Amino acid sequence: MPSDAAPKARLKYFLERATAFDPSRVWSFATQIAGEQGKWAPRTFVDMLIWAAFHDTGYIDYYESDFALLSRKERKTFMTGLLQHHLADALNDPQDVLLFENKIAFNRLFARYLKREWIDLEEVDADRLRAFAERYPAIIAKVPVGREGKGVFRYVTADVDDWVQFRADLLERGQRLIEEPIAQHPYLSEYCAGTVNTTRVSTFFDGERVHVLMAAQKFGRGAVSDQFTWGGFFTMLDDEGRSVGPGHTGKHKSRYETHPDSGTSITDFRVPLWDEVLALIDEAARVVPTVPYVGWDVAVGPNGPVLIEGNWTPGLYETRVSATGIRTGSRASHQPAIVASRR
């Protein structure tokens, strides 16, 4: 099967990997995989090199998608980091992606879909910050440009004594975007009430139709974010918004048939108000047609879905056979974007 990435993208990737090639790092991955999955390390090492050089598969992709346990045919059903980045670079306008990269710019552009209050701290003084914050028991502060939930913080309003100093401290830490906390649907609160459990949906807008390429449900563990860096995990979703198997973190032997804290079933999960989620995303995906390939984060509230952010590099979400038993990835559903990237 030929590569789904353009020859130029593959050549660039190959040269970058060749320049940065570190045999000891690859060997470390190979020995880890061999130990976890009962494989012979030298053979795994060679296999990783072949799939990196000729099949658009980085070492971390090989590990996290359990390629050592899959046949060649099964492996070719999975998306990889290289292919995803190729699609993002080929399809999305390099200037307009800044509208997604900066959360304040995103909030302004997609204001009608947020359904929550927010302020830019550089545009308000301490009194206006206090007036905003005291309407809520807690506020969410974000660094405008950040990934994986690393720039998201939660502050209890009652803990603030000096609003002038608090504002100055937030600005010093770069936490310029202040938002009203999101109230989530009661069904989602049954899983983890302390974290907003979000749905990631990747889409491609071909100028007429919005194609849903992949959907995953993320679950938190009580922290301000449900991202992996905060202890979160995910399960893949089918076309009806239902879980297709146990949750996992992408790491070996992470498997959650139930939420580890609440005990609520992950395998029986279904996104509430799924049709409304799809309708919101269908509208949002048409706002910036020059950025047609996006991974959307949506939270479902008591009265309907709200948009959190859009990621112009959607993030790689795939099942893992050692956690779920599922041996097929999502590359087939990405074909509309793959075909368009070749034009």
DSSP track, 152-191:
EEEEEGGG-S-HHHHHHHHHHTT--EEEPPPPPPHHHHTT
Q: What single DSSP character describes residue 254?
A: -
What pLDDT is attached to residue 1? Answer: 39
Distances in whole angstroms, Cα of residue 67 to Cα of each of 71, 321, 322: 8, 9, 10
DSSP 234-287: EEEB-TTSBB-S-BB-SSTT--BSB-TTT--BSTT-B-TTHHHHHHHHHHHTTT
What does pTM read for this prediction?
A: 0.92
Give Cβ neighbours of residue 28 (< 8 Å, ≥ 6 apart).
none
Residue where a domain terminates, one of 179, 195, 213: 179
Which residue, of 38, 56, 73, is where some domain finishes? 73
Burial of 271 (0-12, 13-18, 19+ CB in 10 A): buried
| 84, part of any domain | no
Grouping H, G, I as helix, E, B as strand and the rest as coil, residue 66 is: coil
Please check whether residues 171 and 203 belong to one and the same domain.
Answer: no
Provide long-range contacts, Cβ within 8 A and 24+ apart, for 38-42. Answer: 39/68
Q: Number of structural domains, the chain? A: 3
Q: In this structure, are 44 and 153 located in the same domain? A: no
Task: Note the residue count of the chain.
Answer: 343
What single letter denotes the amino acid at residue 83? Answer: L
Specify if 109 maps to a domain.
no
- Of 127, 144, 179, the residue that ends a domain is 179
Q: What is the CATH number of the domain that holds 158?
A: 3.30.1490.20
96 is a domain residue: no
Question: What value does the CA radius of gyration of the chain take, rounded to a whole number of Å?
Answer: 21
Residue 311 near residue 100, CB atoms below 8 Å: yes
Tell me the pairing of strands 199-205 and 177-179.
unpaired
Cα 38 from Cα 276, distance rounded (Å): 45
Whether 111 is in a domain gets the answer: no
Same domain, 189 and 336: yes
* CB-CB contact of 144 with 120 (8 Å): no
| Residue 147 sits in the same domain as residue 268 | no
Tokens at 114, concatenated = 């947020």
- 56 and 11 in a single domain? The answer is yes
15 membership: H or E segment, kind and range: helix 7-19
CA-based nearest residue to 182, from 145, 137, 149, 212: 137
Both 292 and 335 in a single domain? yes
90 belongs to a structural domain: no
* Whether residue 223 is found in the same domain as residue 326: yes
In a domain, 81, yes or no: no
Residues 131 and 196 in one domain: no
Instruction: Say if 30 falls within a structural domain.
Output: yes
CATH of the domain at 238: 3.30.470.20
Q: Which residue has the tokens 């710019």?
A: 105
Q: Same domain, yes or no, for 198 and 154?
A: no
Measured CA to CA, the distance from residue 49 to residue 296 in angstroms comes to 33
What is d(CA 232, CA 278) in angstroms, rounded to the nearest whole number? 23
Q: What is the pLDDT of residue 226?
A: 87
> What is the full per-residue pLDDT of the chain (343 aa) written as tens digits?
345 665 665 566 556 655 666 789 889 989 999 999 899 999 999 999 999 888 889 888 999 899 999 999 999 999 999 899 999 999 999 999 999 999 999 999 999 999 999 999 999 999 999 999 999 999 999 999 977 667 899 999 999 999 999 999 999 999 999 999 999 999 999 999 999 999 999 999 999 999 999 999 999 999 888 888 888 999 999 999 999 999 998 776 789 999 999 999 999 999 999 999 999 999 999 999 999 999 999 999 999 999 999 999 998 999 999 988 999 999 999 999 999 998 8
In a domain, residue 317? The reply is yes
Q: Are residues 218 and 158 in the same domain?
A: no
Residues 196, 51 within the same domain:
no
159/68 same-domain check? no
- CA dist 189 and 158 (Å) reads 23
H-run or E-run covering 142: strand 138-142
Domain around 285? 184-341
Nearest-angstrom CA–CA distance, 203 and 214: 7
